[in-house]
Amino acid sequence: MRPDLESTPKLGFGCMRLPLLDPADQQSIDLAQLEQMVDAFLEGGGTYFDTAFVYHEGASEKALGQALVARHPRESFTIATKCLAWAIGSAEEAKSNLGTSLERLGTDYIDFYLLHNVGGPRTAKFDEYGMWDFVREQKAAGRIRNWGFSMHDGPRRSTRCSRRTPTPTSCSCR
């Protein structure tokens, strides 16, 4: 499966709020229940899974790697994950998120890598850390198939943001 915007389903499996064994512990993901949910989603024709570096304090990517990547053919689904450079203290740390995400997920490439929650003053960190060039370099290296940004603003701001960035292949507005 070579993902692109035209072939990406309209419905995805979000991994921001996964079932927990202990509601007080965001990392205590119920892997058995997640496996059942992933299997049901795939059996129903779903293929797009969305997570992020910070979801469940980092445990979301690892659990998705165990419930999905380790159990199903890699070409049968797509994964989107996200980097929050604006919440990180250095360019090196922001850029190392990709390698950590790949390791947690147990894959050698990400189908959709999004610079997360851009807009307003938050975008300045992506600029400062050189993240726009970084994602293009990683796409050329094959570690990212598609890249883009996500935001919690309306279409007007997404248009302004996409004009100032180097050719993203996706944009997610929430």
**Domain ranges within the chain, ordered by starting residue:** 13-173
Q: How far is CA 28 from CA 35, 60, 74, 100, in A?
A: 14, 10, 25, 19
* 113 catalytically annotated: no
Domain 13-173 has CATH 3.40.50.300: no
The pLDDT tens digits for 90-138 are: 889 989 999 999 999 999 999 999 987 777 777 788 888 898 899 999 9
**Catalytic residue of the set 55, 109, 113, 129:** 55
The pLDDT tens digits for 40-87 are: 999 999 999 999 999 999 999 999 999 999 999 999 999 999 988 667
pTM of the complete model: 0.85
